């Protein structure tokens, strides 16, 4: 493991614990990202099969309720500022995209496995949602740049990913047990994003949801 895949720092710290799925997690003291090394990342075919195992449909009441609460708290107060949205990493069943359309938004969808058309890169958006996606990213710096390129200044990037509790508590953290979860942000990582990207924190629960607003610079 040579560099952090977010901030490119070279001084990474190895996290080893016999109870963890891997003894090769690495922690970046610069941006607080925790990640698996590239040679332990899941194969794309295995990753796709894992996503298909999820029952993320309108038939799953808890899944729908999660999005209802997310929209009510973070999107609806700013809905008048939004017209066109992108659901980035929507999965095989774009439930959130449908719910946003019901609120009057024009919504595009993208998923590398299920909706791989990349026409969204020619558009500009008022809102980009990426729910339960960033923990799967193998190149978070590249994906962030791509999303910022299509996000209008003054508009919103909404992330939903469980923020890690710190390298010393990783062994007891359930979120790491999914083999496709390979990259973990923390609140400190979010603050690093604010300092190093044209982004400002607009709202957050500091646990799982972060709403970022793109600045003019």
Handedness of CA 61, 80, 163, 184 (dihedral sign): positive
- For residue 26, the SS3 value is strand
pLDDT tens digits along 88-118: 999 888 999 999 999 999 999 999 999 999 8
- For residue 212, the SS3 value is strand
Q: Which helix (H) or strand (E) holds 48?
A: helix 44-53
pTM, 2 dp: 0.93
pLDDT tens digits along 65-93: 999 999 999 999 999 999 999 999 998 88
pLDDT tens digits along 123-182: 999 999 999 999 999 999 999 999 999 999 999 999 999 999 999 888 789 898 888 999
| Angle in degrees, CA 138, 144, 149, rounded to 5 | 140
pLDDT band at 43 (very low <50, low <70, confident <90, very high): confident
What is the distance in angstroms between the CA of the first residue and the CA of the last residue of the chain? Answer: 32
What domains can you pick out in the chain, each with its CATH number? 39-214 (3.40.50.150)
pLDDT at 28: 97
């Amino acid at each position: 493991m040579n560099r952090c895949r977010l901030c490119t720092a070279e001084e990474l710290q190895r996290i080893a614990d016999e109870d963890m799925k891997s003894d090769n997690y690495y922690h970046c003291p610069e941006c607080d990202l925790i990640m698996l090394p590239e040679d332990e990342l899941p194969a794309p075919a295995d990753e796709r099969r894992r996503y298909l195992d999820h029952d993320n449909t309108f038939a799953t009441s808890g899944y729908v309720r999660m999005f209802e609460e997310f929209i009510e708290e973070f999107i609806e107060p700013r809905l008048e500022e939004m017209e066109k949205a992108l659901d980035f990493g929507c999965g095989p069943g774009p439930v959130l995209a449908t719910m946003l359309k019901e609120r009057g938004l024009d919504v595009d969808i993208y998923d590398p496995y299920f909706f791989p058309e990349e026409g969204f890169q020619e558009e500009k958006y008022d809102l980009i949602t990426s729910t339960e996606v960033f923990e799967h990213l193998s190149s978070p710096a590249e994906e962030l740049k791509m999303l910022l390129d299509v996000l209008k200044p003054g508009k919103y990037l909404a992330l939903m990913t469980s923020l890690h509790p710190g390298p010393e508590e990783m062994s007891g953290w359930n979120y790491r047990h999914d083999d496709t979860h390979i990259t973990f942000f923390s609140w400190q990582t979010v603050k690093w994003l604010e300092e190093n990207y044209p982004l400002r924190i607009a709202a957050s629960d500091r646990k799982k949801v972060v709403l970022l607003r793109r600045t003019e610079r």
